[in-house]
Amino acid sequence: MEMTWPQFKHRLEVQFDEMTESELDMATHIFLSDGNLNDAIDTIDKMRDEDFDDSMDGDHDSAMASCGWGTDEDYGYFGDDY
């Protein structure tokens, strides 16, 4: 007997107290491809074990500097001398 999506999702929610959006996306992909609950659990476990450094996420200044759009100070301009 195959599981429906609500059953599949409920089993994952029992296994993992909370799931991130990316974990839920991965579970949805696995459900749609082969519906293997064990694959979904193993994949989410691996995702949680990876050391992901998101310390720079959302840092506008470093993102702009990385793409070549540094601040005025990066180019030697520190304001008008009055």
Q: What is the CA radius of gyration of the chain?
A: 22
| Within-domain flag for 68 | no
pLDDT > 90 fraction of the chain, expressed in percent and rounded: 0
Question: Residue 19: what pLDDT?
Answer: 84
Q: Supply the range of the domain harboring residue 20.
A: 16-50
Using an 8 Å Cβ cutoff, are 12 and 27 in contact? Answer: yes
| Within-domain flag for 41 | yes
| Within-domain flag for 39 | yes
Q: CA 74 to CA 51: how far, in whole Å?
A: 31
3-class secondary structure, 64: helix
pTM of the full structure: 0.52
Work out how many domains the chain is built from and give that number: 1
| Within-domain flag for 43 | yes
